[in-house]
Amino acid sequence: MAGPVLASILAGVYLDRVERRAALIAFSIGMIAAVVAFAVTTQPLWIMIAALAFQIMALLHVPTLTIYAAELFPTSHRGRTSAAAWSINRVASALAPLILLPLMKSQGVWPMYLLVIVALLVGIGLVAMAPNGRAGRSVD
């Protein structure tokens, strides 16, 4: 419950001050660290801290990615491409439990954690190869 509030406050503070690609990569690395921490700890308090850290990183990632993606496309294509990307995101979010839960049931938790980490690493690679956004520069 605290995650969305903290992430919203933090996003308002940092979004106009950081280079978007670097922030996206940092948040993905933070999510990977939280997954690993969640996977290796057995203490309830540390499990809750790792889960909260993952949630905050993910909630910071979303507005940053939304703004960065909008900066990449010309105005004439921005609405269509942003809507398509958001739709793909929603479909992937709906499919994730259908993939991760059977994987966890058949193979255990580590392959599931590994799949999440690999997906985040692929995202880092894609962002690292993408063009710079307009952070700190006027659209005019």
Residue 53: what pLDDT?
A: 93
pTM confidence score? 0.84
Residue 57 tokens, joined:
């990183």
The alpha-helical segments, DSSP class H, found in 1-140 are 2-14, 20-40, 44-72, 75-107, 109-129
Closest residue by Cα to residue 58 from 109, 84, 96, 16: 96
Closest residue by Cα to residue 123 from 80, 46, 78, 62: 62
Query: For residue range 3-47, what is the model confidence (pLDDT) as tens digits?
Result: 677 777 887 787 778 888 899 999 999 999 999 999 999 999 999
